[in-house]
Structure 1
Amino acid sequence: MKKIRKAVIPAAGFGTRFLPETKAMPKEMLPIVDKPTIQYIVEEILDSGIEEILIISGHAKRAIEDHFDSSPELEHHLYESGKMKELEQIRRISDVKIHYVRQKYMNGLGDAILYAKDFMDGEPFGVILGDDVVYTGNGEPALKQLMDQYYKTGKSIIGCQMVPEEQVSSYGIIDGEKTEDENLLKVHDMIEKPSLEEAPSRFAALGRYVITPEIFDILEETKPGKGGEIQLTDALRVMAHCGNMYAYNFSGKRYDTGNKLGYLKAVVEFALRREDLGEDFKKYLKGLEL
């Protein structure tokens, strides 16, 4: 069983739900307090022990590359100003080993993952969607939780959590059975956005995966599905039908920052957790008269 050394972040989408802000700025760069969304994801990957990251970018995504690039002038200014905490933060960002490839056409998440084939070179790898943030506090990072399950099973792992009944129709829902570990499910199938009556469970696939390299051969044979796009879910279903897929109910609070309400919840709750902001921000919110 090969070690998981690499991860991919698909971040090529247009971010139309945040227009006009995202006309020139990637939605992955929208700040949660004072840190871009994608930095939370990169930090989770690093904290999981991953060595290299591939970001699948697209049109108008140069700001992502600039953010993770070195900045000698800024570092020198911070050093001269005695702002060593800020300097340490900036250096940690620029020390990350990140590679980039551009998805030329928006042909779906499955197509984006195909761009990572050469980079992965036959190895299993992690995937975190570029607008999906999970807060675990002092607990184990969500991706690391999935990696641990991969090392136990040797199979691809879908990150999942149970969603409320009214949200079932918004997600890909897991059809599977529990194993000896009640948080680990053997996946038989996945149903994309079913009605509550059609849903086999309330376990939804939530933006994190550990995938074995056989996915690439399957994706190359996958026909375009909904919207004329190559869907990752379709390829994962093939693997599930072959008995090569598990899902893990990971711990942590997940935020879908790709929609406005989810993004606002993340900003507010991350701010409230901050030692330097939390108490004052809480007082401000309690004093609001709306």
Structure 2
Amino acid sequence: MRKVILPVAGLGTRFLPASKSIPKEMVTVVDHPAIEYVVKEAVAAGIEQIILVTHSSKASIENYFDRNFELETTLENKNKLDLLKEITEILPPHVSVRQPQPLGLGHAVLCAKAVIGEDDFAVLLPDVLVKDSDTPNDLSLMIQRFDKAQASQIMVEALPEYLVDQYGIVDVKHSPNEGESIVMQGIVEKPAIGTAPSNLSVVGRYVLPAKIMQLLENIPKGVGNEIQLTDAIAMLQETETVEAYRMKGQTFDCGSKIGYLKAVLHNGVDHPKLGEDFKTLIKELEL
């Protein structure tokens, strides 16, 4: 598993007005843009190539993961080597492809078909930050399980019952332990409370076989008149096993404003340089 697709072409309407001129993926969580956390998650899992599926308005994302020789030279000349090291460590091998129209997540994944080729791959939704509690991280464990079982992996997390009507919920026979996978029967989108097949919601992390690209090319448009990745996964289930992997870490939905603030809070208190001062600030603000 060497490649990961990061769909970043969305307009970020949930994050307006900030996302009117700044890609929501570039809004900083403490001192790094949100997308960098997702890229680091992939690199920590052994991914070697990042594929950004982007849009013409998202040039700042591509620039962030490119070299800036003028800045690097300035930092080197001023002997600011710690900063130089920090900005050069955010440059994993990557490719950018354009999604010319907003035709859904499945379409965004399909836009990377030429780069994926015959390789299996992961999909990480940059709206969601995953804070892992252990090493190897959850994505690593999903990839290991994919290699062992030859079964696609869909990351899920347990939700309180009163929230199941807000998410895609997987249909499984029973809830697996954290860090384990179970065969998945399907996904129910936003089921009414009391009717959900489980309390496990899809997180936004997928490990998929190359053949799903063929399914995406041929499935009809689904909800919203868009090409849906979940429809292709459902079609894949007709011939292959798909498993739900229950994560051990914690998620933050940075596509929403409150989820973003939670991410700032949690990453702020754990920051190696700012953490103690941040905790002091929180105590000062307690009412």
What TM-score range do you get, normalising by the shorter chain? Answer: over 0.9
Cα deviation, 1:242-271, whole Å, max 9, x if unaligned, reads 342111112111111010000000011101
Shift in Å at residue 138 of structure 1? 4.7
Shift in Å at residue 78 of structure 1? 1.3
**2: CA distance, partners of 1:138 / 1:153:** 22
Match of 1:71 in 2: 68
Cα deviation, 1:78-109, whole Å, max 9, x if unaligned, reads 11222212111111123x11100110110000
Match of 2:104 in 1: 108
TM-score by length of 2: 0.95
Pick which of 171-180 and 256-265 moved more.
171-180
Contact 1:175/1:190 (<8 A) preserved? yes
Match of 1:203 in 2: 200
Q: Say which SS state the counterpart of residue 99 (structure 1) adopts.
A: strand
Contact 1:7/1:126 (<8 A) preserved? yes
Q: Which residue type is aligned with residue 125 of structure 2?
A: L
Pick which of 55-64 and 221-230 moved more.
221-230
Equivalent of residue 276 in structure 1, options 270, 273, 280: 273
Equivalent of residue 22 in structure 1, options 19, 23, 27: 19
Identify if the C-alpha distance between structure 1 residues 143 and 180 changes in structure 2 by more than 3 Å, giving closer, same or farther.
Answer: closer
**2: CA distance, partners of 1:39 / 1:134:** 12
Match of 2:249 in 1: 252
TM-score by length of 1: 0.94
Match of 2:88 in 1: 91
Shift in Å at residue 122 of structure 1? 1.3
Contact 1:11/1:56 (<8 A) preserved? yes
**2: CA distance, partners of 1:166 / 1:10:** 29
Match of 1:186 in 2: 183
Match of 1:153 in 2: 149
Unpaired runs of 5+ in structure 2? none
**2: CA distance, partners of 1:93 / 1:45:** 12
Unpaired runs of 5+ in structure 1? none
1:264 aligns with 2:261: yes
Match of 2:223 in 1: 226
Pick which of 158-167 and 172-181 moved more.
172-181
Contact 2:177/2:246 (<8 A) preserved? no
Aligned residues: 286
Match of 1:174 in 2: 170
**2: CA distance, partners of 1:104 / 1:44:** 27
Q: Say which SS state the counterpart of residue 258 (structure 1) adopts.
A: coil
Q: Which residue type is aligned with residue 169 of structure 1?
A: D
**1: CA distance, partners of 2:133 / 2:170:** 26
CA RMSD of aligned residues (A): 1.7
**Any residues of structure 2 matched to 1:113-132 within 5 Å, and which?**
113-132=109-128
Q: Which residue type is aligned with residue 214 of structure 1?
A: K
Cα deviation, 1:179-208, whole Å, max 9, x if unaligned, reads 997721101111111112221101111010
**2: CA distance, partners of 1:39 / 1:227:** 30
